[in-house]
Amino acid sequence: MKIRASTVDGIFYPAEAAPLSALVGELLRLAESGPGGARCIVSPHAAYAFSGEVAAAAYRAAAGRAVERVVLLGPVHREPAERLCLPESEAFQTPMGSCEVDGTFLEKLAQASPRFLFDDIPHLEEHCLEVQLPFVQALFPRARIAPVLLGKPAPALVQALAEALRQALARDSDGTLIVASANMTLSRPLEQSARELAAALELIRSGDGEALLQAASRRSVSTCGAGCIAAILSLERLWGGRAEILKLGDSLAAGGDRRKVVQYAAIAFGNAKHGTNPDSRGTRDPAAGGEGDD
């Protein structure tokens, strides 16, 4: 079996199974959003010291479902190209074990558009999907994963991704959770990051994925993963869902620099039950290492 080994263990999250499992379990236990039936979530991809509590709130919103497949959508950070990258690996590994890749589902996506390409290289170098896996393993240990990397947030690519997901899930969506791995802003001065966060959340609440992509193109928002969120918004427009902002956080809570602030949000779609203030902030004390930037 071809396995994609973990690459940011010991940097973004603990390198050993027991401490990692304990940390993820505690983050989920303390999450302010209760177990819900979310079918799509947005979760950050920074080190757990910076965004772990926010990620836990997103995953807890889906914990009430019987999830058999987790579709992971994330942006390419290094040398993004205008393509959608699917892994050749048959499993993704973390210190907590391996997640089996749902190859049959990936083939369905690939058949829907020539913009999909099986290529392990972007996946081997990318952290944004890896940091989601321990939460998947903790809550849905038997679920298979379908990792997809979006090269550039070009409207045509986003449309191809959303349409491929729509086709693949047309008769098989009940046991599927879709996760968009995204940080709400890049590293920005505090006041600028707050403005960009507010602008991005307004567009997400409106369900307007096209406007989010346009704002990202104009650089009025710097959401890392805007294309992945836009794909979810396209699906939710068909499914009749709306965004629920569960928890906000930023890199300052873990001792970050006010001149280099990254904003995070936990967002859920579809029957998510939560009991937190949308403006609730805060992350745990830094203990896992890593950077607040993405």
Per-residue pLDDT of the chain (294 residues; tens, 9 = 90+): 899 999 999 999 999 999 999 999 999 999 976 678 999 999 999 999 999 999 999 999 999 899 999 999 999 998 888 999 999 999 999 999 999 999 999 999 999 999 999 999 999 999 999 999 999 999 999 999 999 999 999 999 999 999 999 999 998 788 999 999 999 999 999 999 999 999 999 999 999 999 999 999 999 999 999 999 999 999 999 998 899 999 999 999 888 789 999 999 999 998 544 333 334 443 333 233 344 556
53 domain residue, yes or no: yes
Residue 194 counted as domain residue: yes
Q: Which residues, 6+ apart, have CB-to-CB distance to 162 below 8 Å?
A: 230, 231, 234, 235
Within a domain: 274: no
Q: List phi, psi (to 5°) of 57.
A: -65, -40
CA–CA dist 78, 192 (Å, integer) = 24
Of 84, 270, 87, give the one whose Cα is nearest residue 164: 84
Q: Distances in Å between the alpha carbon of 236 and those of 37, 41, 232, 239?
A: 14, 11, 6, 5
**What is the reported pLDDT for 277?**
36
Domain count for the chain, please give it.
1
Q: In this predicted structure, what is the pLDDT of residue 94?
A: 98
- Residue 293 pLDDT: 55
Instruction: Retrieve residue 184's tokens.
Output: 């709400």
How high is the pLDDT of residue 281? Answer: 42
Residue 289 lies in a domain: no
Q: Which domain holds residue 72?
A: 3-269
Look at residue 199 in the predicted model and tell me its pLDDT: 98
Q: Is residue 226 part of a domain?
A: yes
97 lies in some domain: yes
Residues 6 or more apart whose Cβ sits within 8 Å of residue 208: 233
CA distances from 131 to 103, 154, 216, 219 (A): 21, 24, 24, 26
CATH code of the domain in which 238 resides: 3.40.830.10
Q: Which two tokens stand for residue 89?
A: 């690996």
Q: What is the pTM of this model?
A: 0.91
Query: Would 286 be classed as within a structural domain?
Result: no
pLDDT at 292: 57
Q: Report yes or no on 278 lying in a domain.
A: no
Length of the chain: 294
Q: Which pLDDT score is estimated for 285?
A: 30
pLDDT given at position 11:
97
Structure letter (DSSP) for residue 260: S
